[in-house]
Structure 1
Amino acid sequence: MPLDLKSAATGLMRAAGIAVPLVAGIALGQLATPYLPGFSEWVQTLGVWAPLAFVAAYIGVVLFMLPAFLLTMAGGAVFGVVKGSALVLAGATIGGTLAFLLGRTVLRASVARRVATHPTLSAIDRVIGDDGLRLMFLLRLSPAIPFVLSNYALGVTRVRTRDFVLAMLGMLPIIASYAAFGAAGAKAANGKGALPMPVLVLGVVATVVLGLLFARMTQKAIRDAESKAR
């Protein structure tokens, strides 16, 4: 396949990798909209324990590698965009760090075999060093590796635990996006108006474009680091 066609195909695959989960999440969110008021009321019955219960549930989702974006949308629907995003970040950070440490210890052998077959992760392991935090931050901003899978996989690389944890802040933009979609669904369920279709489409397009941009930035950073290491 010619180089330009190969690049175009790779770009389309990356775009699909961002757009399909996002559109699927929005569609599932629309289906779940009628149940949001009841779910929200149930969560509120937990009182002061509601945020802790949500964070605990998110930790479980991350550890068992379930679709975390659905719970992110639920967080926005129940707690609002700001508080929901903060709770999601807490759950993702704790759950991701636990998975990272499991991948570094008891699950190391099985995870290492899979990392060896993944070009991006293998490259990160080769070039990681003083620039580890920047590479990890870019990786969290980009869709190069699915979040729930990457936590275990990064545990067998030379990424430092400190850099892994700090780089979780890079997930805030996508977390806030999903939380906003969830909050919009909750408003629609309460009769406060659904999010207009043009706004939904614009949000999806913007997320895909930014995701592709950050993916290119990540790949470039890895190539530059590899060049310096030679």
Structure 2
Amino acid sequence: MPPDLKRASTGLLRAAGIAVPLLAGLAIGQLATPYLPDFSAWVQTLGMWAPLAFVVAYIGVVLFMLPAFLLNMAGGAVFGVMKGSALVLTGATIGGTLAFLLGRTILRTSVARRVAANPTLSAVDRVIGDDGLRLMFLLRLSPAIPFVLSNYALGVTRVRTRDFVMAMPGMLPIIASYAAFGAAGADAANGNGALPMSVLMLGVIATVVLGVFFVGITQRALRDAEARREA
């Protein structure tokens, strides 16, 4: 296959790998939209405990590797984009760190086999070192590895716990995107007007384009780090 065609095919596969889960999530979110007012009302009955209950629920979702994007959208719908994103990041950081530590200790043997079969994670394990924080931040910016799966898997690599935790804010762009979609769905369910389809699709396209961009940056950073290591 000619190099240009190969690069184009790789780009299309990356875009599809990001777009398909995102569109599936939005479709599921649309199905859940009619239930958002009742869900929001129930959450509000928890009063001051509502944010804590949400964070605890998100930690459970991360640990059991359930579809975290649904709660992400729910956070935007119930708490708004800013507060919802902050709560999701809190739950993701705590839950992700617990999963990371479990992968490093109790579940290490079973997780190690999966890491060996994943080229990106294997590359991370080979090249991680003083540059670990930058590489982890790039991994969080890019959807190169699904979040709920990567937490356990990264535990068996040489990623330092400090770098793992400090890189979590790299997830904020995708967290905010899902929270915004959830908030838009809540507005529609409450009769405040739905986002025009053109605006929604523009958001999807922007998310996919940025995702492909960051996947490329991450893979180049891993290749450069591996080349320096072998030099």
* Same fold per superposition (TM over 0.5): yes
- Alpha-carbon shift at residue 102 of structure 1 (Å): 0.4
CA distance in 2, matches of 1:143, 1:10: 15
Cα distance between partner residues in 2 of 1:106 and 1:91: 22
Listed as ranges, the matches of 1:62-81 within 5 Å are 62-81=62-81
Q: Which residue of 2 aligns with 1:122?
A: 122
- Displacement of 1:30 in angstroms is 1.3
**Amino acid paired to 1:67:** P
Which residue is equivalent to 2:110?
110
Summarize the alignment of residues 64-213 of structure 1 with structure 2, pairs less than 5 Å apart.
64-213=64-213
1:19 aligned residue:
19
* Matches of 1:128 and 1:110, distance apart in 2: 21
Q: What is the rounded CA distance, in whole Å, between the counterparts of 1:14 and 1:67 in structure 2?
A: 20
Deviation at 1:16, TM superposition (A): 1.1
Equivalent residue number for residue 229 of structure 2: 229
Normalising to structure 1: TM-score of the pair? 0.98
Structure 1: gaps (5+ residues): none
Q: Distance in 2 between matches of 1:2 and 1:150?
A: 33
AA at the equivalent of 2:41: E
Deviation, 1:5, is 3.2
**Residues 84-138 of structure 1, C-alpha deviation per residue, up to 9 Å, x if partnerless?**
0000000000000000000000100110011011111111111100100000000
Q: How far apart are the structure 2 equivalents of 1:5 and 1:114?
A: 30
1:2 CA displacement = 4.0
| 1:23, distance to aligned residue in structure 2 (A) | 0.9
Partner of 2:6: 6
Matched to 1:127, the amino acid is V
d(CA) in 2 for partners of 1:140, 1:194 = 30
What value does the CA root-mean-square deviation take over the aligned residues? 0.9
Distance 1:221 1:199 in 2: 33
Moved more, 179-188 or 13-22: 13-22
* Counterpart amino acid of residue 71 in structure 1: L
Offset of residue 143 of structure 1 = 0.9
User: Any stretches of 5+ residues in structure 2 without a counterpart?
Assistant: none
Q: Deviations over 1:167-216 (max 9, x none)?
A: 00000000000000000000011110001101011001000000000001
Following the alignment from structure 1 to structure 2, what is the Cα–Cα distance between the partners of residues 95 and 154? 14
The aligned length equals 230
Counterpart-to-counterpart distance in 1, 2:9 and 2:16: 10
How far, CA to CA, are the matches of 1:13 and 1:74 in structure 2?
29
Letter in 2 for 1:195: L
| Percentage of pairs with the same residue | 84
Give the TM-score normalised by the residue count of structure 2: 0.97
Which deviates more, 34-43 or 3-12? 3-12
Runs (4+) off by over 6 Å: none
Structure-2 separation of matches of 1:179 and 1:9: 31
Q: What is the CA-CA distance between 1:21 and the residue it aligns to? A: 1.2
Whole-Å separation in 1 of the counterparts to 2:115 and 2:73: 30
Shift in Å at residue 10 of structure 1? 2.2
Partner-residue secondary structure (3-state), 1:193: coil
Give the distance between the partners of 2:166 and 2:199, measured in 1 at CA. 32
